[in-house]
Structure 1
């Protein structure tokens, strides 16, 4: 990693909106023509997520250039929409515990493979008050390499998201 790398924690989406959108556009350039991946759809999801309790982001910069981000929010309990869409129903020792849900994490292609994603993840979780973290991943993403990376970071499968083929960790 470059010596000019910095990680910035933010609680105000407006202050990093353009940076997040620029990173998103580059990472999903090959799919922006699809409705779910359109920048407008991402903007709607980002606005909704940023309004949820405990929303926070960490943005990575290399010499001031935005290169990656992660954002998450606090789940409101076992009846949170996050857990209600999970099949099989998570154990109370999972869904009933204070949890931060990682909603998005991306690193621009040029900076991948340098530990930036892990750095974003660790910086975000280092000051979160929740007891555990949860995220969702498509087990087929990058031929299973993304899921394997999360497992190596200490995550374990706790269910499958209803109406999606994604595993909750």
Structure 2
């Protein structure tokens, strides 16, 4: 299936029996809190599975960040695919374990790190997933802020600080280069 930027893939509290895998583009999973605030649960990139729920409904919604292609498979139909279905089921279990690990890392990031350490960790993850000297940010500053539990102003100040400290170089608002990988890694692991 193809989705345009900001187009909903599925809604929070919608029933689920589907498994999703990003083929191209990027996806944002977000949860609307009872007080109207939005929490970004995660970002998904090509090859990532998402929408892996243990219950009957989605705990968050998912939207495309730009032009995105998604492979959608009905989970209940996997048993009809024989050995191929079993392989896919194993991949889904592995992806579920990875999702649990990412959730744990995100919880630790939100609980104990300073604003600059949170942003450094986030940028380090993005740079680690992309090849080449420049990394693309498919999401905007507000998405990053909602993901890191910061205000958009703080995120902007931390980008400026990392650039002024010579850790990163910004090439526009959605591209960056890591100039000091060891310093970025040190901040990310602090």
TM over 0.5: no
Max Rg structure: 2
Answer 1 or 2: which has greater helix percent. Answer: 2
- Normalising by structure 2, we get a TM-score of 0.30
